[in-house]
Structure 1
Amino acid sequence: MEDERRTRVVLLACGSFNPITNMHLRMFELARDYLEDTGRYKVVKGIVSAVGDGYKKKGLIEAFHRVKMARLATENSEWITADAWESSQPEWVETAKVIRHHYSELTAAKQDADDVDTVKYAKKRRIEENHVESASYHNKREATHLMLLCGADVLESFGVPNLWKEEDIAEIVGRFGLVCVTRVGADPHKFINRSDMLWKYRKNIHVVPEWVANDISATHVRRALRRGQSVRYLLPDDVLRYIHANHLYSAESEQSNAGVLLAPLQKYAGDPSG
């Protein structure tokens, strides 16, 4: 009964995952513990959504490999999964649109489940003389909330000119909500205080402290791989085996998209020399 009174939450993490690391997975666990400890939420699912190749970030390897690694990393999880919708789009997709897509998927799934419940209720009511209990069974289940899960670096990127649209930030934080895991050297509370937009929606931002300092980053991992150094225990073993088997992350791959503006900067700022 206690779980039924809690708001069901799906956590969505969008990013390069180039490659996915243990810290990416750890963020989901930290966020779930934090939200459930409030007594208000029940986290039912986590989704890893890798950005498409159209993002044009320097050193970004093909989405096919990044999605495959995300699936390998999450295949043993009971609640975290990797989704390929964003990465399969022909052009870069704004994070707000990715969230809307997954929210519509949740809404459609809920409608299907409600339709099944309606049929079950009708049948049960016909065969039971006393259907008081079955009437309560027909009550609509609570809507599932979708929240964006990110690190403090993503939160701070909201302040980078032309990287995000103001209306997208308002929609992400104001409509859906944000779960932000702290990182070494970052102070989310200070950034929220400095931003009028984030301050306005501060009650929709959940700042999750990471008490065990961990500065694993995909950038550090790629650098070590290029230098032939060990990255074991920074990545899931299956992901590391996949990287070696496919000879990913070389000096050449790190130069992909070199000199190319990120897709959002191209879209929102146009030609910087103009």
Structure 2
Amino acid sequence: MNERRKVGILGGTFNPPHSGHLMIAEGVRDAAGLDEVRFMPNAVPPHKIKEGDADAWQRLEMTRLAVRGNPDFSVEPIEVESGGVSYTSRTMDLLRTREPETDFSFIIGGDSIEQLHTWHDIDALVEKVEFIGVPRPGTSASGRFPVRIVGIPQIDLSSTILREKLAEGRSVRYLIPDPVIRFIREEGLYGVPAAER
């Protein structure tokens, strides 16, 4: 009998994906003994898209560029391809139906752990997947739902800060993978002048 694969899902807007995301994914993969981590961009970001911001397909492509070269990472396009508002519970139902031999975990940051009680259908969701929590600076990483906490190096880096740096023409080297920076310049995202083609 084949051993069940252990796959961690790291969801988010990835607007843009950055080195912090990659460090979290690798740290959790190693600490939790996962076979693979899939980055899953959501279709509708929780904030209104501003002019010059990346759309869902650009975020998906940036995420693909960010994980390229790591055989333990991949991108799960299911929410972008479905479109509209995504609910983690429904998405995990679809993934579990598609891959019945896989045990899925859902990777969340400390701020999300504190907000789990607000998630759609959370009582059913905790029965379907294991939550793996990563403490973040300034969060307590505690809540009333079961979360497996893994200790990994903490990095206080956010996509919001990086969008501001990009708009101001400041350096994001080492904070965003080089292929993603090139894509941002080519597409003229986040207020960066579009590169001449």
TM-score w.r.t. length of structure 2 = 0.87
SS at match of 2:81: coil
Give CA-to-partner distance per residue, 1:187-235, whole Å, 9 cap, x none.
Answer: 21xx22xx3xx1xxx2xx211122x331011111111111111111001
Within a 5 Å distance, the mapping from 1:83-232 to structure 2 comes to 83-107=76-100, 143-160=101-118, 164-165=119-120, 168-188=121-141, 191-192=142-143, 195=144, 198=145, 202=146, 205-210=147-152, 212-232=153-173
CA drift of 1:157 comes to 2.3
The match for 2:59 among 54, 60, 66 is 66
Q: Is the 8 A contact 2:6 2:103 kept in 1?
A: yes
* Equivalent pairs, count: 188
CA drift of 1:90 comes to 3.2
Aligned partner letter, 2:113: L
CA drift of 1:25 comes to 1.3
Given the superposition, is the C-alpha separation of residues 171 and 84 from structure 1 closer, same or farther in structure 2, using an over 3 Å criterion? same
Aligned partner letter, 2:8: L
In structure 1, C-alpha distance between the alignment counterparts of 2:81 and 2:186, rounded to whole Å: 23
CA drift of 1:175 comes to 2.5
SS at match of 1:158: helix
SS at match of 1:17: coil
In structure 1, C-alpha distance between the alignment counterparts of 2:98 and 2:186, rounded to whole Å: 35
Aligned partner letter, 1:68: E
What residue ranges of structure 1 are gaps of 5+ in the alignment?
37-42, 108-142, 252-274
In structure 1, C-alpha distance between the alignment counterparts of 2:172 and 2:43, rounded to whole Å: 25
Residue of structure 1 equivalent to 2:37: 46
Residue of structure 1 equivalent to 2:22: 25
In structure 2, C-alpha distance between the alignment counterparts of 1:241 and 1:153, rounded to whole Å: 30
In structure 1, C-alpha distance between the alignment counterparts of 2:9 and 2:125, rounded to whole Å: 11
Residue of structure 2 equivalent to 1:35: 32
TM-score w.r.t. length of structure 1 = 0.64
Q: Is the 8 A contact 1:51 1:86 kept in 2?
A: yes
Higher helix share: 1
Higher Cα Rg, which structure: 1
Runs (4+) of structure 1 exceeding 4 A deviation are: none
In structure 2, C-alpha distance between the alignment counterparts of 1:74 and 1:90, rounded to whole Å: 22
Residue of structure 1 equivalent to 2:195: none
In structure 2, C-alpha distance between the alignment counterparts of 1:213 and 1:15, rounded to whole Å: 18
SS at match of 2:139: coil
Q: Is the 8 A contact 1:14 1:48 kept in 2?
A: yes
Give CA-to-partner distance per residue, 1:33-69, whole Å, 9 cap, x none.
Answer: 2113xxxxxx22211111113x452346301110000
Residue of structure 2 equivalent to 1:10: 7
In structure 2, C-alpha distance between the alignment counterparts of 1:56 and 1:185, rounded to whole Å: 21
Aligned partner letter, 1:47: R
| 2:188 corresponds to 1:247 | yes
The match for 2:47 among 39, 45, 57 is 57
| 2:183 corresponds to 1:236 | no
CA drift of 1:159 comes to 4.3
Give CA-to-partner distance per residue, 1:103-136, whole Å, 9 cap, x none.
Answer: 22212xxxxxxxxxxxxxxxxxxxxxxxxxxxxx
In structure 2, C-alpha distance between the alignment counterparts of 1:151 and 1:33, rounded to whole Å: 16
Aligned partner letter, 1:241: R
